[in-house]
């Protein structure tokens, strides 16, 4: 029995190491992008779905209105998703600057208001390229120019771009930043390996005709989340070589970590809920084995208090996990100029399996609160 468990642990650890090496290869396959000087021609529609964002929306709109991209070539459409605060009022104040306000007025209860908001905005949009971001984000002035330059050079159907937390106030938020950078790096590496798995809607671009060609959010509109990742899978299935990652510091979008553990867990449950709609068996296979690896690591940790072999198995898994995660994260954090966050890897390598196993169990069952509404 002991030998069997040790063999399973060794095989799962070997699998996890192989996965990290694969991610490392995928990241390195993506060259840093440098824009070339050329007159842009692409018309762009930037879309933001906002709900109760009176504290953030003005800064986001201000950042978009000062982009170096020619103003006549882009429009900003902000969709107010039944806000109960002053969000819509603030957006109206920017109408003189050409900002378009769309207000959802759904009488029937939906499970995915955000997908509905984006779809409504796209139906009124005039741009060739759709660019989505969130109402609590900030970006540098070359953000749009860089993404469009990349699009015009590479001609991808969908482009994922980097997202990073900033303005952290404590160690809890800094650890979230490191963990989030791992997820962004994972998504980028998947694209580098020609196996797109994940992306983030806070910095996502796609051709309007590609969105319409795959039926938009049809078939994935019964989940609250997935306006980014599940759409990526739909477009990636239709265009296997049509997904790119804009690996440029000028293309980074910045947002903030969650203030409380409750908010963090709720966010991760929402993200995990998308996995029920994965159609690519390879992604499901990898997700299951990663979950099993973390489950065994956690089980060995608790069993170590009672049996010697479990302590050895736990230390083996933990040290190997930490070592190879540092190898991958050192490159991702260096790109984002956040290498100082690597100091949290030893702690996160211990904490990560706990919430990974928990979220894997509860993320696909039950409902959760998202901006004051219970969704699933």
pLDDT at 285: 86
In sign, the C-alpha dihedral spanning 346, 351, 252, 157 is: positive
- Percent of the chain at pLDDT exceeding 90: 74
pLDDT at 369: 60
Is the model's pLDDT at 185 over the cut of 90?
Answer: yes
| 317 in a structural domain | no
| 56 in a structural domain | yes
Residue predicted with more confidence, 109 or 342: 342
- Percent of the chain at pLDDT exceeding 70: 93
| 276 in a structural domain | no
pLDDT at 306: 84
Is the model's pLDDT at 311 over the cut of 70?
Answer: yes
- Lowest mean pLDDT, pick from 136-140, 241-245, 290-294: 290-294
Q: What is the average pLDDT value for the chain, to the nearest integer?
A: 91
Rounded to an integer, the average pLDDT of 1-11 is 76
Asked whether 280 and 288 are in contact (CB, 8 A), the reply is: no
Residue predicted with more confidence, 24 or 365: 24
Give the tens place of pLDDT for each residue, 263-307: 998 888 888 777 767 777 788 888 889 999 999 999 999 888 888
| 9 in a structural domain | no
* Confidence tier at 373 by pLDDT (50, 70, 90): low
**In total, how many domains does the chain have?**
1
Rounded to an integer, the average pLDDT of 209-214 is 97
Provide the phi-psi class of 226: left if phi over 0, else alpha when psi is between -120 and 50, else beta. Answer: left
pLDDT at 109: 66
pLDDT at 365: 61
- Lowest mean pLDDT, pick from 84-88, 164-168, 313-317: 313-317
Is the model's pLDDT at 111 over the cut of 70?
Answer: no
* Confidence tier at 258 by pLDDT (50, 70, 90): very high
**CATH number for position 222:** 3.90.550.10
pLDDT at 8: 84
| 297 in a structural domain | no
Residue predicted with more confidence, 274 or 155: 155
Is the model's pLDDT at 1 over the cut of 70?
Answer: no
CA–CA gap between residue 29 and residue 32 (Å, rounded): 10
| 279 in a structural domain | no
Is the model's pLDDT at 376 over the cut of 60?
Answer: no
* Confidence tier at 25 by pLDDT (50, 70, 90): very high
Query: 52 lies in which domain range?
Result: 31-170+195-258
Q: Hey, what are 41's tokens? A: 């021609």
Residue predicted with more confidence, 177 or 361: 177
Give the tens place of pLDDT for each residue, 48-80: 999 999 999 999 999 999 999 999 999 999 999
| 69 in a structural domain | yes
| 284 in a structural domain | no
């Amino acid at each position: 029995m002991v030998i069997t468990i040790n063999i399973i642990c060794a095989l799962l650890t070997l699998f996890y190491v192989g996965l990290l090496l694969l991610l490392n290869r995928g990241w390195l396959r993506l060259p840093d992008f440098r824009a070339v000087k050329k007159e842009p021609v692409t018309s762009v529609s930037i879309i933001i779905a906002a709900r109760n964002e009176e504290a953030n929306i003005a800064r986001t709109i201000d950042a978009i209105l000062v982009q170096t991209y020619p103003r006549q070539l882009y429009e900003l459409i902000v969709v107010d998703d039944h806000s109960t605060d002053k969000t819509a009022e603030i957006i109206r104040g920017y109408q003189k600057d050409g900002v378009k306000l769309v207000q959802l007025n759904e009488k029937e209860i939906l499970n995915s208001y955000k997908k509905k908001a984006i779809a409504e905005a796209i139906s009124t949009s005039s741009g060739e390229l759709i660019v989505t971001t969130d109402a609590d984000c900030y970006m540098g002035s070359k953000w749009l120019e860089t993404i469009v330059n990349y699009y015009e050079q590479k001609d991808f159907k969908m482009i994922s771009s980097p997202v990073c937390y900033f303005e952290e106030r404590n160690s809890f938020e800094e650890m979230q930043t490191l963990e989030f950078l791992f997820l962004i790096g994972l998504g980028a590496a998947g694209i580098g390996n020609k196996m797109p798995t994940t992306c983030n809607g806070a910095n996502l671009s796609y051709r309007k005709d590609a969105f319409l060609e795959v039926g938009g959010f049809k078939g994935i509109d019964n989940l609250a989340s997935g306006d980014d990742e599940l759409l990526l899978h739909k477009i990636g299935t239709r265009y296997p070589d049509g997904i790119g990652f804009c690996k440029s510091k000028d293309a980074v979008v910045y947002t903030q970590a969650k203030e409380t553990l409750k908010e963090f867990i709720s966010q991760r449950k929402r993200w995990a809920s998308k996995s029920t709609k994965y159609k690519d068996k390879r992604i499901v296979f990898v997700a299951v084995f990663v979950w099993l690896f973390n489950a065994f690591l956690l089980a060995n940790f608790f069993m170590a208090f009672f049996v010697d072999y479990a302590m050895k198995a736990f230390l083996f898994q933990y040290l190997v996990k930490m070592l190879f995660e540092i190898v991958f994260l050192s490159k991702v954090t260096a790109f984002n100029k956040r290498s100082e966050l690597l100091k949290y890897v030893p702690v996160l390598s211990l904490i990560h399996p706990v919430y990974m196993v928990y979220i894997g169990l509860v993320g696909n069952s039950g409902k959760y609160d998202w901006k004051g509404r219970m969704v699933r």
